Copies of this chain bind each other. A is one copy, B any other.
Amino acid sequence: MSKIFSIIGRDKRARAGEVQTIHGVFPTPAFMPVGTLASVKTLSPVDLDDCGTDIILSNAYHLSIRPGEDIIARFGGVGSFMGWRRPILTDSGGFQVFSLAERRKISEEGVIFRSHLDGSLLNFTPERSVEIQEKLFSSVIMCFDECVSSPADKEYVANSLERTIRWGLRCKAAKRDNGQLLFGIVQGGTYLDLRGISAEKTVMSGFDGYAIGGLSVGESQSVMYEVADYTAGLLPEDSPRYLMGVGTPEDILTGISCGIDMFDCVMPTRNARNGLLFTSKGKLHIKRKEYEKSDLPVDSVCNCYACKNFSLGYLRHIYKAGEILALRLNTIHNLTHYLSLVKGARSAIIEHTFDDYKREYLHKTARGDGGEHINDS
């Protein structure tokens, strides 16, 4: 493997680094906004830039169904297609093995899905997933894996992770030498011994980076932290580590303290569309009556377009009126909050003040407006 990851700062186990891709470098820790269908919902590429985005995530399964990877290949890949000229990581379809559980059948060969759009049968294999992701021309290809929900029977998890190892080797064998990175995925559910086996074998297989999959799928927060912490410690120091589908700001800060470098989650974008906003003083729900007459911004320390130009009163009005602009402004705010959080973490790691940074953030944000609970699904 060529050296694609440079660590430029450390604070205990937390790392500040850079990942080199064919679409340029992205700094770590990195949070990847989710653009499942080649659009980070409500945002344009200019908006993503303005929020401080360095890398986004898209999805092989969804794009293969609509509009189809061959169409996207004609446009030069998903980045060219959507006008995002910087790094993109594509999920392999493995998470859909989990989330569309009632619509698929798993075998050693791969997974047969029933399309969530038209019910047609789709055959996903490691080779097919890599082929799709090569046509999408993402910067980072994820191995095709099985993500098991929690709780799960230990024997099932043990067999599943072995199959994921074999699938990872098939992905590696299938992948062309075209500069796209390939990340392996460690599974093993909540069983630390199985995580150990999975990590060892995945690292033995050899990938450009290593993901921790199968967390935030039903287990408690403390178990998630324990497994992430344990697993991260088993992964190579000189490769990027990615905690898939996680999470809250607290989850991300905790992951960073465990030595994890990359995160993705729909939480900032989906919650934005549901009116829940992350601020430096905790979460608030924009539809609350108390904001009706407020000329204050959502967050006085935030530099996003929404906070610099609009009041809580206006944002509440357009949210309640069902105006589409509300969804976009909320999304711009939440993503800016998340991306500022990881950028701040990166600076703190370099300055060896990450523990203080994390503690202060969690202290300040411990109480929100008492509005609706976060939607983390």
Contacts and interface: CB of A to CB of B under 8 A. Distances in A.
Interface of A: 37-39, 41-46, 66-67, 71, 74-75, 81-83, 292-293, 295, 305, 309-311, 313-314, 316-318, 320-321, 323-329
A37 B318 contact: yes
Contacts of A82: 314
A45 B38 CA distance: 25
Nearest to A67: B317
A323 B75 contact: no
CB-based closest 7 A-B pairs: A39-B323, A42-B324, A67-B317, A37-B321, A39-B325, A83-B309, A39-B318
A119 to B, nearest CB: 18
B44 A323 contact: no
A295 B37 CA distance: 18
A59 B344 CA distance: 43
A292 B310 CA distance: 37
Contacts of A37: 317-318, 321, 323
Given A66-B317, A81-B313, A317-B66, A41 B75 contact: no
A25 B326 CA distance: 29
Max count, chain B CB within 10 A of own CB: residue among A39, A310, A311: A39
Contact of A41 (B310, B311, B323): B323
Nearest to A44: B325
A37 to B, nearest CB: 5
- Report copies per complex: 2
18 contacts: A38-B317, A39-B326, A41-B325, A43-B325, A44-B305, A67-B292, A67-B313, A71-B317, A74-B293, A74-B313, A75-B313, A75-B314, A81-B313, A81-B317, A82-B314, A83-B314, A324-B324, A324-B327
Contact of A66 (B39, B46, B321, B325): B321
Given A39-B318, A83-B310, A323-B39, A328 B71 contact: no
Contacts of A41: 323-325
Contacts of A310: 83
A318 to B, nearest CB: 5
Nearest to A47: B325
A320 B295 CA distance: 38
Nearest to A314: B81
A330 to B, nearest CB: 11
Contacts of A67: 292, 313, 316-317, 320
Contacts of A292: 67, 71
Max count, chain B CB within 10 A of own CB: residue among A82, A295, A309, A327: A82
A71 B293 contact: yes
A41 B327 CA distance: 11
B44 A311 contact: no
Given A44-B305, A329-B44, A75 B324 contact: no
A45 B37 CA distance: 27
A287 B112 CA distance: 30
A1 B305 CA distance: 41
B321 A39 contact: yes
Given A43-B325, A44-B305, A328-B328, 19 more contacts: A37-B317, A37-B321, A38-B314, A38-B317, A38-B318, A41-B323, A41-B324, A42-B328, A44-B309, A67-B292, A71-B292, A71-B313, A74-B293, A75-B295, A75-B311, A75-B313, A75-B314, A81-B314, A81-B317
B42 A325 contact: yes
B75 A328 contact: no
A67 B310 CA distance: 15
